[in-house]
Amino acid sequence: MLMHKYRNLLILFTILLLIAGCKDNPQRHLKLGNWYFQKGLIDEAILEYREVTRMLTDVSAQISQQEFETLAKAHYSLALVYTKKGWYDYALGEAETCFKLLPTKENHELIKLIQKRLAFGEANVES
């Protein structure tokens, strides 16, 4: 019982440190979003990934290469978490944005997978 209490306190302390360190740091928001996603806290992950896109989209013409990659990863991650929520239209939009920013094979495959899922869903609705 006591170990469980300490574990919970450690988790809470870690979250508070991450949140406090996220101020004006897109990379930390991305890491916190990833942590939330790994813990199954999808809504919290969405908020963190969206914060990354909010912070970097306004200044996209003047961001570093690392920030550019962080922005692409945030859009990719949003596509993944939106599929977990069943929001495939939003997921497709995020995957397409990710591909525009960083046109890699992996990002293109994500678009194709989401498109297949959307087509599958529409076929089931028509049946």
Residue 68 confidence (pLDDT) = 87
Low-confidence residues of the chain: pLDDT under 50: 22, 127
The widest CA-to-CA distance across the chain, in whole angstroms, is 55
Give the whole-angstrom CA distance, residue 34 versus residue 51. Answer: 13
Burial 94-118 (b: 16+ CB within 10 A, else e): bbbbbbebbeeeebeebbeebeeee
Strands (E), 1-127: none
Query: Domain containing 48: what range?
Result: 2-126
Tokens for 42? 């999808």
How confident is the model at residue 70, as a pLDDT?
93
Measure the CA–CA gap between 100 and 124, rounded to whole angstroms.
Answer: 30
Give the predicted TM-score (pTM) of the model: 0.77
Tally of domains within the chain: 1
Judge whether 111 and 96 are in contact, CB under 8 Å: yes
pLDDT at 3: 62
- CATH number of residue 63's parent domain: 1.25.40.10
Q: What pLDDT, on the 0 to 100 scale, is given for residue 79?
A: 98
